[in-house]
């Protein structure tokens, strides 16, 4: 009899525990990712004005999704940045990122904040979700995210860490080659001046960053240099007819040695104080 009593008691206890577990409040699921999963480029409509293209949220179910993501503000940024990789979402994601981040941007015929848009008379639009367009936008927002985090901590090391060789664009002119590196990362590094020199010296040792670091060190140091092809201040550059660039990885060690010798030659008090590790 006692055996049956204990069996029934254990069964009732198990049922009670199950009831308590099922009644426990569960943590809320992520409300943002499901919205981004449903987002499509059709969520954004465009108007053509004298000043250029102007986006607006469509008055449709897709528009309601875009509106909800706007209300999440910068909490939606990571999921929207991932959506840039999807050709069916990238244009809408880019517009929402622009609005949520409060960045300043340029507009013009056929382009809005670096997004290329073909707007037709009936309001229809064509985007260009090719690899170059989506890559450009992804890089733009990765750069914004980096500066948004790093400005807060004022960390030149981390900003220099985001440099890449392909950020440098080369032009051939009468006086030889000339590099163009004027994105937000480069402007921030130039603002820091000598505080960025030591991180840039480290970057010269990196095959993925040495070209950008060399260009910026040349700017910051004010050294004189020669630019006759195939060299630009000692850097081998072969600018092909199709716009691609051939580099020589052996330059990594050569350039690092040059910049270390330059650093050791600096005598003025301001520089030697600023460059303390």
- Whether residue 129 is contained in a domain is answered as yes
- Whether residue 1 is contained in a domain is answered as no
How many domains would you assign to the chain? 2
| Whether residue 161 sits in one domain with residue 127 | no
Quote the pLDDT of residue 106.
Answer: 77
| Whether residue 265 sits in one domain with residue 175 | yes
| Whether residue 182 sits in one domain with residue 101 | no
| Whether residue 172 sits in one domain with residue 249 | yes
| Whether residue 250 sits in one domain with residue 162 | yes
Q: At which of 140, 165, 194 does a domain end?
A: 140
Minimum mean pLDDT range among 1-15, 69-83, 237-251, 254-268: 1-15
Which pTM was predicted?
A: 0.49
Q: At which of 140, 175, 209 does a domain end?
A: 140
HEC secondary structure over 143-167: HHHHHHHHHHHCCHHHHHHCCCHHH
Q: Which two tokens stand for residue 140?
A: 């733009």
| Whether residue 201 sits in one domain with residue 118 | no
CA Rg, the chain, in Å?
A: 27
Predicted confidence band of residue 174 (pLDDT cuts 50, 70, 90): confident
- Whether residue 21 is contained in a domain is answered as no
Q: Which two tokens stand for residue 252?
A: 């990594």
What is the domain range of residue 98? 32-140
| Whether residue 179 sits in one domain with residue 264 | yes
| Whether residue 113 sits in one domain with residue 61 | yes
Question: Which has the higher per-residue pLDDT, 143 or 148?
Answer: 143
- Whether residue 25 is contained in a domain is answered as no
Residue range 176-192, pLDDT digits in tens: 889 998 776 787 788 77
Mean pLDDT, rounded, for 154-166: 79
Residues with Cβ < 8 Å from 167, sequence gap 6 or more? 181, 183, 185, 186, 212
- Whether residue 11 is contained in a domain is answered as no
| Whether residue 178 sits in one domain with residue 133 | no
Which of 93, 90, 56 shows the shortest CA–CA distance to 77? 93
- Whether residue 19 is contained in a domain is answered as no
| Whether residue 215 sits in one domain with residue 135 | no
| Whether residue 159 sits in one domain with residue 127 | no
Which of 74, 202, 239 shows the shortest CA–CA distance to 141? 74
Question: Which has the higher per-residue pLDDT, 69 or 24?
Answer: 69
205, containing H or E segment: none
Which of 145, 11, 137 shows the shortest CA–CA distance to 76? 145
Q: At which of 93, 108, 140 does a domain end?
A: 140
Quote the pLDDT of residue 8.
Answer: 42
- Whether residue 15 is contained in a domain is answered as no
Query: pLDDT > 70: what percent of the chain?
Result: 81
Residues with Cβ < 8 Å from 74, sequence gap 6 or more? 100, 101
- Whether residue 145 is contained in a domain is answered as no
Quote the pLDDT of residue 232.
Answer: 95
SS3 content of the chain, % helix, strand, coil (to 5): 55, 15, 30
Whether the Cβ atoms of residue 68 and residue 108 lie closer than 8 Å to each other: no
Beta-strand runs (E) in the chain:
44-49, 52-57, 107-108, 111-112, 115-119, 125-127, 169-173, 176-180, 231-232, 235-239, 245-247
Quote the pLDDT of residue 29.
Answer: 59
| Whether residue 162 sits in one domain with residue 114 | no
């Amino acid at each position: 009899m006692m055996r049956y009593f204990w069996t029934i008691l254990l069964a009732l206890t198990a049922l009670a525990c199950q009831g308590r577990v099922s009644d426990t409040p569960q943590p809320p699921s992520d409300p943002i990712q499901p919205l981004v999963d449903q987002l499509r480029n059709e969520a954004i409509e465009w108007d053509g004005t004298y000043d250029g293209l102007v986006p607006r949220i469509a008055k449709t179910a897709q528009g309601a999704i875009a509106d909800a993501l706007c209300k999440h503000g910068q909490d939606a940024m990571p999921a929207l940045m991932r959506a840039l990789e999807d050709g069916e979402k990238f244009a809408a994601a880019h517009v929402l990122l622009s609005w949520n981040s409060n960045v300043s941007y340029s507009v013009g015929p056929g382009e809005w904040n670096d997004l290329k848009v073909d707007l037709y008379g009936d309001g229809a639009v064509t985007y260009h979700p090719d690899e170059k367009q989506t890559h450009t936008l992804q890089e733009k927002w990765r750069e914004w995210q980096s500066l948004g985090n790093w400005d807060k901590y004022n960390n030149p090391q981390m900003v220099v860490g985001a440099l890449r060789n392909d950020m440098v664009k080369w032009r051939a002119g009468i006086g030889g080659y000339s590099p163009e590196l004027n994105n937000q990362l480069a402007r921030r590094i130039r603002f820091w001046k000598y505080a960025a020199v030591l991180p840039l010296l480290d970057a010269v040792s990196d095959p993925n960053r040495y070209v950008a670091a060399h260009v910026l060190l040349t700017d910051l140091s004010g050294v004189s240099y020669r630019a006759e092809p195939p060299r630009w201040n000692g850097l081998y550059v072969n600018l092909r007819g199709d716009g691609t660039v051939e580099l020589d990885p052996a330059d990594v060690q050569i350039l690092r040695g040059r910049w270390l010798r330059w650093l050791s030659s600096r005598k003025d008090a301001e520089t030697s104080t600023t460059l303390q590790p």
